[in-house]
Structure 1
């Protein structure tokens, strides 16, 4: 274990201090496509029985009417978060007619990408802006990429921990400034080591060939069954350049060495004209095609494996919220949907993420240059397409190193963190999760991607048929279980209130859409 990590952990895990870590808050955002009974994409509108996507607190849509997003409130209990997520799934499947939920990251069979319906949020300015942003994504990248699903893990540490940690580091800055600085340090180390999470949790080594219909690829895919393409050592095609990539973003200099530096880089990207996207036009024949012709329309278009976040107020830009109030939590975005869970993630993953994120925080985290950040991205790409290849090498500090050797070291460094968390939470779950995922280092077939691909190959079954069977299994399982946290009355009230709230927003609009868009971009974040 590195000396600095050992020193910091020794003080934090002492008997008098160990409980300061209790109170970690987590929230889940899980995306899933609605599918027909035959496994094809459901093109029907967002069901009215699920409420208004603009204002419902737990059930919304992402890019498409067909792409649901389930959101849990921040909670300090893993069991509560999973119970909430399960109930949201349960309510949804109860209110879908002849439809199910796709249990994978890479899309189901989609006959034609142009048929994917954009998400609609009503007639208010804020609702129209959300749809227009998605129209811009369609015009820039096509809709097929936007049909990919993922899981986001929102994570924040309690104030009790931050006060103790600031005292330990003898830091005298305002507490929020210290918190922001430390979350950025965590993010830099996450960038350095995100390949490990993709190795363990990547679950999309195969996909439906309809995803590539009419398009070429530089990958040498192998074919399985009548409609499946796969790479034999891949972990996450979702995280490859088939998925969330933007060639115009490759030239951006968005770094994480300080909050002002990050904000300035992101704001510059939202303000920087793009010759490619300017050619699309902002308006054609008086109709908007995108929010603007810049490299990014808004901050959310920046595809990153992790983001520093601050809850925004109505109409507030994310960079402005960060500049004014600092980092509140982080959003981990490199997670595939876990097809072996009815809700896309499980408790063991959440515990492993807690351990890993604390490892990233407590380990030394020097500044990350553009060149070094490029190396982290190259390492990630190697694991995305070849993570289960024997003797795969990554680059660490300018030298090649066996990926599994590096992973062994990280796991060894994480064990004392798991012990600390188990003592603080009076459990054994953290050490058990670490030991469970350590088996994936000994045998790559134990990873999610390894299990999935081995099942497909051993049965010679199409990925689509496997996932459809899983969707039906999870639907029956959810329908046969009672609500765990919410009640049917809670959901009915949320539906009614969301519809009423959307109507109120629409009735309160008093400016033109053009003026609303101009006003949204008028505020500039203070990033000096």
Structure 2
């Protein structure tokens, strides 16, 4: 089951470190009015400036609020941050404003010229205008949940120390581990779409020229009809990844290097060309739809599954370099097929999904993970066997007149009332920026219960 690196980690009793990822979350949600239209209100004044607030910003549109949590050692810490910052945003909204809980935006006007793009300063605003000119406007509007994962330094040191003939320095060892993580998540992106896709239909004017889907699907957002630029990355290595993006800019396929919105991104040095020299510091996973059953757009069990899958990918044999592009091109095709399936139907890749979940079960048993992980895998196995339990299929129970607006507004109002009644209060963004440590202390005075943090 284990690769040579995985066996080394297992023999050194360091398996726990493979799931001790430092984790950060980025959750996008549109601000809407009580009628379900994009809000006409400006960025909330109580939380200062979207260009300078590091924890609550915007993405593409002025209405597309993005919550960014500080890095956290445990999944529950990240969720604590997310709930706290989400509450700050909700209680800072203008009267009557709500947060739309679905990935695909609310109904859009036919004339989008009056909708304000994000106010990021002249350079970024010029980029957004050019992006909107090149693309169908609605393609910039889907929202999602992004997960940032950073590998524990102990693993990097262990690999470097025990494979000196393979890795000359820490940079090579670190980049390799991030490369196999990125390749693995891209390889199994289709499974994540299958299990967590939650955008089966689109609201009015998302599509142009009276285009209509033939039937509901598993995920519009994760399909070719979803977000933005259709530009494939090269995950063979960090260097190949950077080279591909830079060539895309040179060929004028991409406006800027930060236009690359692959489902996985290597992150670290803000200057992309320097990334291979300084090394990846984390990967950003961008393949999750918002989960409307949660006020914050993602559930703790989903984070646990992602951590389990990441641990499995580090411990098991990776793709050979000459196989990466071929395998990931096929994985992209599989994902496109999965996105476009009717969510009430049996997936074409049901047997592959069964086999992978069984492999994860064996892995979880081998490394003696807690019963909560077995429960998660049992639930996901049930989804595979019973399509009607999939998130997109469940959402179809609430469709009225080809719309989820009534359901989304009901959930949005419920979450807004709960936030306003919450005991988490915070005042201060209008005065200054807060560091991660200051934000933690302001939101959660004292220490969090350590018994709750093991996740």
TM-score range, shorter chain: 0.7 to 0.9
Is residue 234–residue 240 contact of structure 2 (8 Å, CA) maintained in 1?
Answer: yes
Paired position in structure 2 for 1:366 = 320
DSSP 3-state at the match of 1:495: coil
SS at match of 1:497: coil
Query: Following TM superposition, by how much is the alpha carbon of 1:267 offset from its aligned partner in structure 2, in angstroms?
Result: 0.9
| Residue in 2 that maps onto 1:177 | 172
240 and 260 in structure 1: CA distance in 2 versus 1, 3 angstrom threshold? same
Q: TM-score, normalised by structure 1?
A: 0.76
Q: Distance in 2 between matches of 1:27 and 1:303?
A: 18
What secondary structure sits across from 1:32 in the alignment? strand
Is 1:119 the counterpart of 2:118? The answer is yes
Partner of 1:481: 422
* 1:77-156 matched pairs, under 5 angstroms: 77-97=74-94, 98-112=96-110, 113-121=112-120, 127-156=121-150
Alignment match of 2:379 (pick from 428, 432, 436): 436
Structure 2 residue aligned with 1:226: none
**Aligned mates of 1:389, 1:166 — CA distance in 2:** 47
In 1, the alpha carbon distance for the partners of 2:91 and 2:282 equals 33
Task: Give matches, 1:324-363, under 5 Å.
Answer: 324-363=277-316
Whether the 8 Å CA contact 2:198–2:395 is kept in 1: the answer is yes
Written as runs of structure 1 = structure 2, the 5 A alignment for 1:52-71 is 52-71=49-68
Distance 1:410 1:387, change over 3 A: farther
Shift of the 42–422 alpha-carbon distance from structure 1 to 2, 3 Å rule, reads: farther
Instruction: Report the Cα distance in structure 1 between the residues aligned to 2:118 and 2:19, rounded to whole angstroms.
Output: 39
| Conservation of the 8 A alpha-carbon contact between 1:183 and 1:330 | yes
For the aligned residue pairs, the C-alpha RMSD in angstroms reads 2.4
Structure number with greater Rg is 1
Paired residues, number? 429
More off after superposition, 33-42 vs 473-482: 473-482
- Describe the superposition over 1:133-164 as per-residue Cα deviations: whole angstroms up to 9, x where unpaired: 11111111132211111111101120112223
Q: 2:398 aligns with which of 437, 456, 479?
A: 456
User: Which residue is 2:406 aligned to?
Assistant: 465
CA spacing shift, 1:353–1:488, aligned 2, 3 Å: same
- Aligned equivalent of 2:200: 205
1:235 is aligned to 218
From the superposition, tell whether residues 256 and 433 of structure 1 become closer, same or farther in structure 2 (CA, over 3 Å). same
Q: 1:467 to 1:245 in 2, by over 3 A?
A: same
Name the TM-score, length of structure 2 as normaliser: 0.88
Structure 2 distance, partners of 1:172, 1:165, is 8
Residue 351 of structure 1, CA deviation: 0.3
Cα distance in structure 2, aligned partners of 1:441 and 1:478:
34
Task: Determine the C-alpha separation between the residues in 1 that align with 2:19 and 2:290.
Answer: 27
Question: Where do 5+ consecutive residues of structure 2 fail to align?
Answer: 435-455
- Which residue number in structure 2 is paired with residue 298 of structure 1? 256
Q: Measure, in 1, the Cα distance between the counterparts of 2:19 and 2:228.
A: 37
**Which residue of 2 is the match for residue 228 of structure 1?**
none
Q: Post-superposition shift, 1:390?
A: 4.5
- In the alignment, what sits opposite 1:23? 20
Distance in 2 separating the partners of 1:480 and 1:422: 40
Q: State the match for 2:237 in structure 1.
A: 258
| CA shift for structure 1 position 243 | 1.4
Partner Cα distance (1:89, 1:99) in 2? 14
Structure 1 unmatched runs, 5+: 122-126, 222-230, 273-293, 394-402, 500-528
Q: Find 1:42's aligned residue among 39, 43, 46.
A: 39
